């Protein structure tokens, strides 16, 4: 990031927002699973390299592919739940030695394709899971990148409560460090999200990985992964 602070008004609409608007009628009234199934099948977020979105390309994840393994080692983690795992493209290039990896996604066909393409071993598996309601496998770290930015505040609250029920230890998730206000959206849309701001009010993260996001001319350069203890999330355990 530069020393120049980002104002919320300085941020132009991202590609995901612009493309999403073309599909609002088709998405109206769909449940969460059907919403994200439609988004995946129709590439609603508009990225060419990965239907999981612009942020899932190899260029946009270079810093993460180096930083995440280092953080897992620092935490002494031996298990990782990656939810949503999307197409597993950039994570397949990430060093996960010594980690029992579970990649999960709400889109059943996407999970099936991952199993066919990458296979499963005693250290890697893929599951179809809804972050907001399904029983989640317990993990040392839950990676939830580029997910909550697509969920309504209500669905985020359900996700937090569900994560607490899982008994997992750490949540590593997307946050925009300089954002002052969180907009209201429907599930499937997109907006930047600062989890330390209302209505979430999380404490300062224990660790931060700044991604080096260059989208929209650097207007989202404060995009980061923040690390929180899941026990500190709001919601019933």
Domain boundaries, the chain: 8-232
Residue 231, sorted as left (phi over 0), alpha (psi -120 to 50) or beta, turns out to be alpha
Start-to-end Cα distance in the chain: 36
CA distance 103 to 12: 32
Q: What is the structure's pLDDT at 144?
A: 99
**1 pLDDT higher than 90:** no
Name the pTM for this structure: 0.93
Q: What is the structure's pLDDT at 54?
A: 52
The predicted-structure confidence for 185-209, as pLDDT tens digits, reads as follows: 999 999 999 999 999 999 999 999 9
User: In this predicted model, which residue has the larger pLDDT, 121 or 235?
Assistant: 121
The alpha helices in the chain, defined as continuous H runs, are: 15-20, 24-27, 32-41, 62-75, 108-118, 153-166, 215-218
SS3 state at 171 = strand
The alpha helices in 42-128, defined as continuous H runs, are: 62-75, 108-118
CA distances from 177 to 11, 44, 150, 160, 222 (A): 14, 26, 17, 19, 5
- Spatial neighbors of 211 by CB under 8 A, at least 6 apart, are 55, 60, 61, 63, 64, 223, 224, 225
The predicted-structure confidence for 102-153, as pLDDT tens digits, reads as follows: 999 999 999 999 999 999 999 999 999 999 999 999 999 999 999 999 999 9
Spatial strand order of the sheet with 141-144 comes to 124-128, 100-105, 79-82, 141-144, 170-176, 223-229, 207-210
| Burial readout 130-143 (b: 16 or more C-beta within 10 A, e: otherwise) | bbbeeebbebbbbb
Q: Is the peptide bond before 177 cis (omega within 30 degrees of 0)?
A: no
Q: Which of 148, 86, 141 is nearest to 118 (CA)?
A: 86
**21 pLDDT higher than 70:** yes
CA torsion, ordered 144, 69, 229, 54, to nearest 10 deg: -20
- Spatial neighbors of 109 by CB under 8 A, at least 6 apart, are 37, 40, 41
Average pLDDT over residues 179-190: 96
The predicted-structure confidence for 22-73, as pLDDT tens digits, reads as follows: 999 999 999 999 999 999 998 886 656 445 545 556 777 899 999 999 999 9
Decide if 110 contacts 86 (C-beta within 8 A). yes
| Fold annotation for 8-232 | Rossmann fold (3.40.50)
Q: At 9, is the pLDDT very low, low, confident or very high (cuts 50, 70, 90)?
A: confident
């Amino acid at each position: 990031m530069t020393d120049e602070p980002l104002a919320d008004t300085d941020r132009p609409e991202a590609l995901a927002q612009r493309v999403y608007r073309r599909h609002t009628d088709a998405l109206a009234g769909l449940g969460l699973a059907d919403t994200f199934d439609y988004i995946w099948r129709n590439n609603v977020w508009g990225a060419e390299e990965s239907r999981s979105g612009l942020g899932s390309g190899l260029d946009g994840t270079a810093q993460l592919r180096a930083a995440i393994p280092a953080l897992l080692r620092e935490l002494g983690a031996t298990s990782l739940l990656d939810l949503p795992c999307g197409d597993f493209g950039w994570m397949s290039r990430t060093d996960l030695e010594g980690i029992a990896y579970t990649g999960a996604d709400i889109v059943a066909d996407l999970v099936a394709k991952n199993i066919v393409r990458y296979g499963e071993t005693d250290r890697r598996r893929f599951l179809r899971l809804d972050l907001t309601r399904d029983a989640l496998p317990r993990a040392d770290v839950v990676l939830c990148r580029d997910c909550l930015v697509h969920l309504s505040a209500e669905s985020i609250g359900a996700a937090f409560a569900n994560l607490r029920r899982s008994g997992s230890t750490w949540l590593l998730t997307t946050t925009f460090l300089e954002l002052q206000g969180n907009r209201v959206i429907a599930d499937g849309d997109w907006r930047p999200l600062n989890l330390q701001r209302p209505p979430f009010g999380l404490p300062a993260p224990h660790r931060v990985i700044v991604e080096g996001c260059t989208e929209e001319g650097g207007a989202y350069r404060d995009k980061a992964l923040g690390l929180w203890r899941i026990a500190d999330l709001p919601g019933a355990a």
